[in-house]
């Protein structure tokens, strides 16, 4: 059996010990590293090459959200599970928008942690029951739609979402105004949005551009 390698990131040693205790009885999961601050995570990630990163959001220093963004910036394929005391949707949405693949709370049943880790290791997403599943599903739908964009459509999408006008995008990509306008129409139709503001929200939620 190939074990799922994980690293645990939490500023409380007792919490990390609890993580390991919860996972100790699962032969399919192995903890290969831990850290107490986000600043140490990128190096730890490089050294250990984990399958899944389990982290808290509330940490000193750069904090959990910035840690997620940095990891995903270095490795867009990073699989990150947030394990937090916060169950408010604002935290869930911001974590998913930053690049996390799943979110569970520290009040969840012990078996939930192992289940979430294994599903995320398989390339799936995981949101604890009781949290807003619709929001995560919508993000996954948007990811699939964006994956269907051609390279040129994606370039137009990214630049328009960042605030550029159609004229500026045309100049940036050395294309005609009408060509970019047509691309813009195609992209909005594919993503089922009607305005550039909605386009920007999609891009921010998926981490294509920063808010």
Instruction: List, for residues 45-63, the tens digit of each pLDDT value.
Output: 999 999 999 999 888 888 8
pLDDT above 70 covers what percent of the chain? 92
42 and 75 share one domain: yes
210 inside domain: no
Q: How far is CA 167 from the centre of its chain?
A: 32
Strand segments (E) across the chain: 4-9, 29-35, 52-55, 80-84, 102-105, 126-127
Range of the domain at 13: 4-131
Cβ 105 vs Cβ 140: under 8 Å:
no
Question: CATH number, domain at 26?
Answer: 3.40.50.2300
Q: Alpha-carbon torsion 161, 58, 87, 96, what sign? A: positive
Which range has the worst mean pLDDT, 35-39, 91-95, 140-144, 155-159? 140-144
Q: How far apart are the C-alpha atoms of 174 and 8, rounded to whole Å?
A: 46
Give the pLDDT band (50/70/90) at residue 5.
Answer: very high
157 and 126 share one domain: no
Q: Which pLDDT tens digit goes with each residue over 109-133? A: 878 889 999 999 998 888 887 775 5
pLDDT at 170: 93
51 and 80 share one domain: yes
Smallest CA-to-CA distance from 103 within 65, 61, 147, 73 is with: 65
Smallest CA-to-CA distance from 117 within 129, 104, 131 is with: 104
Question: CATH number, domain at 178?
Answer: 1.10.10.10
35 inside domain: yes
For residue 177, pLDDT over 90 is answered with yes
Residue 99 or residue 144, greater confidence: 99
18 and 94 share one domain: yes
146 inside domain: yes
112 and 151 share one domain: no
41 and 99 share one domain: yes
17 and 98 share one domain: yes
Q: Quick check: pTM over 0.75?
A: no
170 and 102 share one domain: no
Q: Tokens 């040129």 appear where? A: 152
74 inside domain: yes
Residues contacting 164, CB < 8 A, separation 6+: 172
Q: How far apart are the C-alpha atoms of 4 and 29, rounded to whole Å?
A: 5
């Amino acid at each position: 059996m190939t074990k799922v390698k994980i690293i645990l990131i939490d500023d409380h040693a007792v919490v990390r010990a609890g993580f390991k205790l919860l996972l100790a009885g699962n032969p399919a999961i192995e903890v290969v590293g831990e850290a107490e601050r986000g600043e140490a995570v990128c190096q730890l990630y490089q050294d250990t090459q984990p399958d899944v990163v389990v982290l808290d959001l509330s940490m000193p220093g750069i904090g959990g959200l910035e840690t997620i963004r940095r990891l995903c910036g270095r490795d867009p394929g990073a699989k990150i599970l947030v394990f937090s005391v916060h169950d408010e949707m604002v935290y869930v949405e911001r974590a998913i928008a930053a690049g996390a693949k799943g979110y569970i709370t520290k009040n969840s049943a012990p078996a939930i942690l192992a289940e979430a880790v294994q599903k995320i290791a398989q390339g799936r997403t995981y949101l604890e029951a009781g949290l807003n599943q619709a929001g995560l599903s919508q993000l996954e739908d948007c990811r699939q739609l964006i994956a269907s964009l051609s390279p040129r459509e994606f370039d137009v999408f990214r630049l328009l979402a960042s605030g550029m006008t159609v004229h500026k995008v045309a100049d940036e990509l050395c294309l005609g105004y009408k060509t970019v306008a047509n691309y813009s129409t195609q992209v909005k139709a594919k993503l089922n949005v009607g305005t550039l503001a909605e386009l920007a929200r999609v891009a921010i939620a998926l981490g294509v551009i920063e808010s």
